[in-house]
Amino acid sequence: MDTTAIAVPFLPALSAVLILTVLRANKRLAARAAVSAIALSFLISLAALLQYTISGTSRVETLGHLWGSIWLDPLSLIMWTFVSGISLLVHMYSVRYMLEEPNYTRFFALLNLMTATIFFMVSAADLITLLGAWFLVGILLYFLLGHDTDRRQAGRYAFWTQLTYRLGDLPLWLAAFVLYRTYHSLSLPVIFSRIASAPSPAHLWGLPVPAVVGTAVAVAAFARSAQFPLHGWLPYTMDGPTPVSALMHAGIVNAGGFLFNRFAPVFESSGVALHIAFLVGLVSAILGSSLMLIQNDVKRSLGYSTMGQMGFMTMECGLGAFPLAIFHLIAHGFFKASLFLGAGDAIGDARAHDGVPPDLVYVSIVERRPTRPSRLPLWTAGALTLAVPVVVLSLAHFAVAKALFFQQGTFVLLFFAWVTGGQALYAADRLTRTNPWKLMVGILATFVLVVIGYTLISHDFGAFLYPPAASTRLYHSASTGVLSDGVLLTILALLFVSGWVVTVLSDRRDWSRRLARRWNGPYLAAYAFFTRELYLNDLFSRAGELLVRVSRRLNLLLRWL
């Protein structure tokens, strides 16, 4: 691999220094220098990734004696290409969007420093570089979110984010200390090779090292990816500039998925941490998706959507499907960046046309009434919905690799594919006025193509990131047994089917009145509970006020000592 790849993280850093020292008073040249540096980093990253696909060799470039090393492996090269692509889009958008804002050149310098720091973080080959870059990402994000110093709310929630990040840093520091104390090395490749060569998990202070490190790394990923209950900061960071929101939701919040993949050799022997990740991701996915639906602010709704998607990504890691988490990370990053960069147009259109258009989706979801009676037999739709996804996924997995079919993550994927297909069919049948049979055939055909493509990508992408033996060990570590999986999937299936039954009954006038009389009170109570965001933010605010009062009393007491 050519040594020019090492220039990728240094180009944005050098351009930031150039902007702050020479081009501070020249907006036009500062913006051009920032965009040019990111564009060049993107081209070099893409060339290095293509070169790796040909040669298949990874290596470590050491820049310092104890720290400052860069690991040019598939994970870092993919993340370099992804981050530079997202950052390039954000930079180009910011050239005109931030033109009338104060501190224009300072903003581009911070944006380039943030990009350079993320480059170092995802390619760090030693613990010190990783911890330093991980810490600096939070610091730079604080200054970017509080870029407009006239907005007190922006500064307040930027500080809230900073506190959450620093709290999440503590377990990562603990994990680094345990790894260094156990394996006597700061190099990540050396540590991982010693973990793989050990016949049994090492112990420190009587505790298994992989379990301790895996749990600590998972908690650090939860804080950075806004997972329950450390999620309260994310929806309130929308007072910052829109380009910062796009970069944060597309590249910074996703860091939890990267951290899981970087420490994948540790999780091969830490099933407990993966089980915790699955449960936390499941709760975060449900909670984030639910809170997203009741927001009346576009950006805050996108924030909770990110929380839900990060929950799905954490669930994938908890199932042992680490490559799928990276694929999800990349797809969600580009999708969410486009949504944030287009949020201004959506808000402007809503202000220009304040009347809600009487379309089919609004009539069905908001007014809670179907547009027409269903012409598709419910049992027919249910049977096809259940059979087609199972058959397609089974054949796809058998065609790619028979061993995949017997792994835990495949069964969970089968279940959620069935639920997704069923929900899409049922919702489309209720909302459209076209022939339901033609609609169903079109949806199923699209579903077949998506599932086959997703299965092929998951296998090939996984083989690119990890050797087959490593993927097998990860799936084995994440497995909880056939009985536990069956019980979990049965409970989730009953919950989804119950929701469909309630929806069907609510469309009938007599049952709708009965349900309204019986469940109106609990429904309003649940709505109020979710509107207050489970009262977690109120609890954190009270805890903060209590800490302030205690510190004041201690301050007064210490004056007399």
Are 402 and 434 members of one domain? yes
pLDDT at residue 18 is higher than 80: yes
In this structure, the answer to whether residues 520 and 428 fall within a common structural domain is: no
Q: Is the pLDDT of residue 518 over 70?
A: no
Q: Mark whether 539 and 500 lie in a shared domain.
A: no
Cβ proximity of 227 and 280 under 8 Å: yes
Q: Which one, of 30, 241, 243, 235, lies nearest residue 150 by Cα?
A: 241
Q: What is the mean pLDDT of residues 273-289?
A: 87
Residue 136 phi, psi (nearest 5): -70, -30
pLDDT of residue 10: 92
- Encoded tokens for 237: 């960071």
Q: Are 383 and 444 in contact (CB under 8 A)?
A: no
Within 10 angstroms of residue 276's Cβ, the number of other Cβ atoms is 18
The rounded distance, in Å, linking the Cα atoms of 375 and 227 is 41
Mean pLDDT is lowest, of 115-119, 229-233, 402-406, 412-416, for 402-406
Residue 156 lies in a domain: no
324 and 245 housed in the same domain: yes
Paired sense of beta strands 203-204 and 69-72, if any? unpaired
Last residue of a domain, one of 125, 156, 186: 125
Model pLDDT, residue 443: 57
* Residue 478 resides in a domain: yes
Structural domain count of the chain:
4
Residue 154 lies in a domain: no
Cα separation, 45 vs 32, whole angstroms = 20
Co-location of 198 and 250 in the same domain: yes
**In this structure, is residue 428 part of a structural domain?**
yes
Statement to judge: residues 330 and 191 lie in one domain: yes
* Cis peptide bond N-terminal to 229, omega within 30: yes
| pLDDT at 348 > cutoff 60 | no
Q: What is the pTM of this model?
A: 0.80
pLDDT at 38 > cutoff 90: yes
Is the domain of 393 the same as that of 473? yes
Contacts of residue 316, Cβ cutoff 8 Å, sequence gap at least 6: 281, 322, 324, 325, 328, 409
Averaged pLDDT of the chain = 76
- Both 472 and 540 in one domain: the answer is no
Q: Is 59 or 119 the better-scoring residue by pLDDT?
A: 119
Q: Same domain for 194 and 296?
A: yes
Residues 312 and 197 in one domain: yes
Asked if pLDDT for residue 174 goes beyond 70, the answer is yes
User: Which segment of 12-16, 94-98, 436-440, 462-466 scores lowest on mean pLDDT?
Assistant: 436-440
* Banded pLDDT at 509 (limits 50, 70, 90): low
Do 287 and 229 belong to one domain? Answer: yes
Query: Containing domain of residue 287, as a range?
Result: 165-344
Burial of 366 (0-12, 13-18, 19+ CB in 10 A): exposed
Let me know if residue 349 belongs to a domain.
Answer: no
Q: Which residue has the higher pLDDT, 129 or 409?
A: 129
